[in-house]
């Protein structure tokens, strides 16, 4: 059903190129609004029942069916469900809240009795310490690597996904199979020869080398996901554009880019999470150069050095995950969509 919907979006935004401008603008604008709206809805909680944009229609339909059949009273199963929600929220949210709470506790107050999640007094000394120990450098490196890396991944994988979707050439199936294989094989397998490989490529201890490595590792998943989006756009659109005199690049830019944009967003979000969080490969490639530390390496090294300063470790963790939490909360629906569509290996 996801496919059908995207199919529709594709043909409505691209299929009436000469048609009314208002209609097209509404199509494009709706998508942006959905993104912007998700922030408040996530915070607000109750109003929105739909998961991702694509699930929306099913959810509303089910909602209506459920509403028609359901009695208004509280059923025993509702109580069980609420119980499950409570347990889930406690288990999944508590550790994060505890870390936040621990990071702002004044010295010694971790031991306070009785147990309280909200500390009585707030102290930012732990944060000051983390920033003194190089947090700014780590944040800068991670941001740079993530932004350049995600951009490069998209720049490499969009043309490739286009080619796999639109060209019929010999070896296409085999090549696509190889791409899928690389997607499924965990990148952890290559860390042993990685240092010597990067040395022989002259890329050891460089951010550029790490970015290129990430492009190599993340491109297969991105191609696979984007190809799915390209496949939902009818090829008749390409033919029409070609008759109008567009070459392939122009067709991609003016006709295909718009319907594929949600796919690019999903790819961008997933790669942002991966690149920001990645540890073992970065540690192997740039771990010997302090000034190149990313957030994961920085925090890890910090805790091996100051292993007993738990408040500072908590503060570092909070700073390290905050950017991702913000990205996630504001773009939650794309995550869900990408997980369902991408069936990625789970990293």
Name residues contacting another protein, limited to 49-108 (CB under 8 A). 49, 51, 55, 58-59, 61-63, 65-67, 70, 75, 77-78, 81-82, 84-85, 88-89, 91-96, 98-99, 102
**Measured between alpha carbons, how far is 267 from 251 in angstroms, rounded to an integer?**
21
What dihedral do alpha carbons 334, 279, 315, 322 form, nearest 10°?
Answer: -10
The span from the CA of 226 to the CA of 224, in Å, is 6
Residue 177 interacts with another protein (CB under 8 A): yes or no: yes
Q: Is 249 in the site for another protein (CB under 8 A)?
A: yes
- 141 and 321 Cβ atoms separated by less than 8 Å: no
Q: Are 319 and 135 in contact (CB under 8 A)?
A: yes
Q: Which stretch binds another protein (CB under 8 A): 5-13, 121-129, 143-151, 250-258?
A: 250-258
Check residue 1 for interaction with another protein (CB under 8 A). yes
Integer Cα distance of 275 and 294 in angstroms: 10
Binding test (CB under 8 A) with another protein, winner from 126, 215, 260, 268: 215
CB 32 to another protein: min, Å:
20
Token pair listed for 76? 């025993």
Report the alpha-carbon distance of residue 227 to residue 118 in Å, rounded: 48
Neighbours of 76 (CB within 10 A): 7
C-alpha span between 216 and 220 (Å, rounded): 8
Candidate segments 118-126, 127-135, 259-267, 335-343, binder of another protein by CB under 8 A: 335-343
Candidate list 223, 260, 266, 268; residue touching another protein; CB under 8 A:
223
Cβ burial, residue 5 (10 Å; 0-12/13-18/19+): middle
Among 34, 35, 148, 336, binds another protein (CB under 8 A): 336
The number of C-alpha atoms within 13 Å of 246 and in the hemisphere containing its C-beta is: 16
The mark string for 272-311 relative to another protein (x by CB under 8 A, - otherwise) is -x--xx-xx---x----------xx--xx--x------x-
Size of the site for another protein (CB under 8 A): 125
Residues 213, 233, 286, 292: which binds another protein (CB under 8 A)? 213
Contact 138, 298 (CB under 8 A): yes
326 binds another protein (CB under 8 A): no
Single residue of 34, 35, 148, 194 touching another protein by CB under 8 A? 194
| Of residues 132 and 345, the one with the C-beta less far from another protein | 345
42 contributes a contact to another protein by CB under 8 A: yes
């Amino acid at each position: 059903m996801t496919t059908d919907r995207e199919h529709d979006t594709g043909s409505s935004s691209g299929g009436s190129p000469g048609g009314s401008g208002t209609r097209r603008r509404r199509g494009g604008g709706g998508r942006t609004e959905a993104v912007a709206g998700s922030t408040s809805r996530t915070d607000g909680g109750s109003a929105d029942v739909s998961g991702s944009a694509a699930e929306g229609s099913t959810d509303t339909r089910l909602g209506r069916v459920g509403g028609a059949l359901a009695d208004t009273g509280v059923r025993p199963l509702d109580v069980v469900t609420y119980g499950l929600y409570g347990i889930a929220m406690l288990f999944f949210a508590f550790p994060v809240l505890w870390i936040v709470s621990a990071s702002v506790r004044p010295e010694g107050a971790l031991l306070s009795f009785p147990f309280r999640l909200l500390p009585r007094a707030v102290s930012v000394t732990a944060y000051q310490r983390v920033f003194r120990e190089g947090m700014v450098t780590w944040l800068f490196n991670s941001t740079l690597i993530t932004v350049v890396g995600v951009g490069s991944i998209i720049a490499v994988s969009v043309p490739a996904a286009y080619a796999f979707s639109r060209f019929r050439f010999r070896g296409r199936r085999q090549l696509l199979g190889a791409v899928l294989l690389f997607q499924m094989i965990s990148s952890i397998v290559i860390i042993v020869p990685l240092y010597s490989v990067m040395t022989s490529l002259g890329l050891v201890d460089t951010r550029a080398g790490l970015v290129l490595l990430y492009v190599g590792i993340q491109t297969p998943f991105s191609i696979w996901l984007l190809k799915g989006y390209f496949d939902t756009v009818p090829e008749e659109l390409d033919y029409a554009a070609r008759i109008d005199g567009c070459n392939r690049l122009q067709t991609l830019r003016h006709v295909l880019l718009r319907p594929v944009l949600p796919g690019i967003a999903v790819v961008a979000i997933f790669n942002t999470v991966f690149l920001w969080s990645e540890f073992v490969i970065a540690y192997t490639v740039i771990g010997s150069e302090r000034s190149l530390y990313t957030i994961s390496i920085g925090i890890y090294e910090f805790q091996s050095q100051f292993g007993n300063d738990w408040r500072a470790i908590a503060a570092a963790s909070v700073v390290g995950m905050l950017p991702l939490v913000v990205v996630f909360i504001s773009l939650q629906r794309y995550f869900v969509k990408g997980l369902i569509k991408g069936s990625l290996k789970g990293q």
